[in-house]
Amino acid sequence: MKFKLALKLASTATLAMALSSAAFAVDITGAGATFPYPIYAKWAEAYKAKTGTSMNYQSIGSGGGIKQIQAKTVDFGASDKPLKLEELDKHGLMQFPAVMGGVVPVINLAGIEAGQIKLNGTVLADIFLGKIKKWNDPAIVALNKDSKLPDNLITVVHRSDGSGTTFIFTNYLSKVSPEWKSKVGEEASVSWPAGVGGKGNEGVASYVKQIKGSIGYVEFAYALQSKMTYTQLQNRDGQFVKPVEESFKAAAANAHWDKAPGFYEILTDEPGKASWPITGATFILMHKVQDKSANAAEVLKFFDWAYANGDKMALEMDYIPMPASVVKLVQGAWKAQIKDASGKALWN
How far is residue 222's CA from residue 205's CA, in Å, rounded to a whole number? 7
The answer as to whether 9 is a domain residue is no
Q: Are 248 and 320 in contact (CB under 8 A)?
A: yes
For residue 112, is it within any domain?
Answer: yes
pLDDT at 222: 86
Q: Write down the pTM of the prediction.
A: 0.85
Report the candidate in 325, 237, 328, 324 with the shortest Cα–Cα distance to residue 275: 237
Q: Kindly state whether residues 208 and 335 are assigned to the same domain.
A: no
CATH number, domain of 136, equals 3.40.190.10
Residue 18, domain member (yes or no): no
How many whole angstroms separate alpha carbon 20 and alpha carbon 30? Answer: 25
73 and 203 share one domain:
no
Say if residue 22's pLDDT is above 70. Answer: no
Query: What is residue 9's predicted lDDT score, i.e. its pLDDT?
Result: 40
What is the SS3 assignment for 268? strand
CA distance 127 to 28: 42
- Contact residues for 169 (Cβ-Cβ < 8 A; gap 6+): 103, 217, 278
Separation of alpha carbons 229 and 216, rounded Å? 10
Domain count along the chain:
2
CA distance 96 to 98: 6
Q: Do 176 and 38 sit in the same domain of this protein?
A: no
pLDDT in tens, 31-40: 999 989 999 9
Pairing of strands 232-234, 118-119: parallel
Mind listing the pLDDT tens digit for each residue in 260-270? Answer: 999 999 999 99
Full residue range of the structural domain in which residue 181 is found? 103-253+265-278
Whether residue 189 is found in the same domain as residue 272: yes
Mean pLDDT score, 26-33: 94
Q: Are 106 and 59 in contact (CB under 8 A)?
A: no
- Per-residue pLDDT at 25: 62
In contact, 306 and 43? CB cutoff 8 Å? yes
Of the two residues 177 and 15, the one the predictor is more confident about is 177
Half-sphere exposure of 262 (CA within 13 A, CB side): 20
The DSSP element (H or E) to which 269 belongs, if any, is none
Using CA atoms, how far apart are residues 164 and 254, in angstroms rounded to an integer? 20
Q: Would you say 222 and 38 are in contact if contact means Cβ atoms under 8 Å apart? A: yes
Are residue 89 and residue 139 in the same domain, yes or no?
A: no
